[in-house]
Amino acid sequence: MSGTLYLVPTPIGNLGDISQRARDTLAQADFLAAEDTRVTLKLLNHLGLHKPLLSYYEHNKVQRGGQIVERLLSGESCALVTDAGTPAISDPGEDLVRLCAQAGVPVCPIPGPCAAVTAISASGLPTGRFCFEGFLSTAKKSRRAHLESLRDEKRTMIFYEAPHKLLATLEDLVAVFGPDRPIALCRELTKVHEEFFRTTLSQALAHYRENPPRGEFVLVLAGAPEEKAPEASAAQAAQRVAELMSQGLSRKDAVKQTAQELGLSRNAVYGAALEE
């Protein structure tokens, strides 16, 4: 019978955030696969654990992934850890999980620290629907293309960002989403200098032009505001939809025609008609 791959999240700053289950899983695994064995060794020393360590990172993941799956298939269990946070989230692990799934090796995720979830929970922005966008490219062209693809995104968006790229990213965010879009810049989460800067894009840019950014950042950006017809035209739109429907048009066609006549979006007209 094959062993199990355990995905073990580690603290993103505060060592107290390691859970009992994460600790037990590390202690019981036959071997650990770690992004940077030196970083993981420090954590193991803190926990008083001595475990066989294997490196698994971006540049050896193809060859190493196969070796790990073979060991799992032969019955050993493996705990995958990265430098900080949840494996496979903007970190090595995604490919190993896929290989295991393909080989029929059980994958057991242990819940724990993740910068994206920690940030959005305290961002003050809507959390009902959000999308995780990971790191933006360092190349200006593809970074802008990525952001352009999100221009009409209504969900709250989460980005990871390095401090030395923050200003360039804020400039691009202003260009694509406008100066007034709300943003929460969540810095040094769980650490001594933890900070939540809840502001707008233009104010964030002005602030960090004056105060060079330091530390680790998660950017939580508000989605595009829901389009709503202005009050007067909402009533007007609803009335026109009703009129057209009484003349025999389907709701869909009435909404379409009203939108064209009043220069409103179909969504706004539909919303107005429903409210009425």
Binding site for ligand SAM (CB under 6 A): 12-13, 82, 84-86, 89-91, 114-116, 160-162, 186, 188-191, 216-218
Q: Is 33:81 a contact under the CB 8 Å cutoff?
A: yes
Q: Which is nearer to ligand SAM, 77 or 118 (by Cβ)?
A: 118
In 9-111, where does DSSP find H-type helix?
A: 20-28, 37-47, 61-73, 94-103
Q: Which is nearer to ligand SAM, 191 or 256 (CB)?
A: 191
Identify which of residues 75 and 215 has a Cβ nearer to ligand SAM in the complex.
215
Q: Look-up: residue for tokens 């401090």?
A: 163
Check: CB of residue 237 under 8 Å from CB of residue 272.
yes
Q: Check: CB of residue 110 under 8 Å from CB of residue 22.
A: yes
How far apart are alpha carbons 48 and 26 in whole angstroms?
11
Minimum CB distance to ligand SAM, residue 209 (Å): 20
Give least dist CB 131 to ligand SAM, A.
Answer: 15
Q: State residue 155 phi and psi, 5-degree precision.
A: -75, 155
Q: How far is the CB of 136 from ligand SAM (least distance, A)?
A: 11
Using the minimum distance from each CB to ligand SAM, give the nearer residue, 15 or 162.
162
Task: State the residue number with the nearest CB to ligand SAM.
Answer: 85
Of the two residues 90 and 267, which places its CB atom closer to ligand SAM in the complex? 90
Return the HEC string of 119-157: HHHCCCCCCCCEEEEEECCCCHHHHHHHHHCCCCCCCEE
Smallest gap from residue 35 Cβ to ligand SAM (A):
9
Query: What is the CA angle 221-222-225, rounded to 5?
Result: 150
User: Which residue's CB is nearer to ligand SAM, number 217 or number 270?
Assistant: 217
Beta bridge partners of 53: 32
Least spacing, CB of residue 92 vs ligand SAM, in Å: 9
Sort 210 into a burial class: Cβ within 10 Å, 0-12 / 13-18 / 19+.
exposed
The minimum distance between CB 203 and ligand SAM, in angstroms, equals 20
Smaller CB distance to ligand SAM: residue 17 or 30?
Answer: 17
Q: Which residues pair with 195 in a beta bridge?
A: 187
Give yes or no for a contact between 156 and 183, defined as CB atoms under 8 angstroms apart. no
CB of 158 to ligand SAM, least distance (A): 10
- Reading the block at residue 72, the tokens are 């799992």
How many CB atoms are located within 10 Å of the residue 36 CB?
A: 14
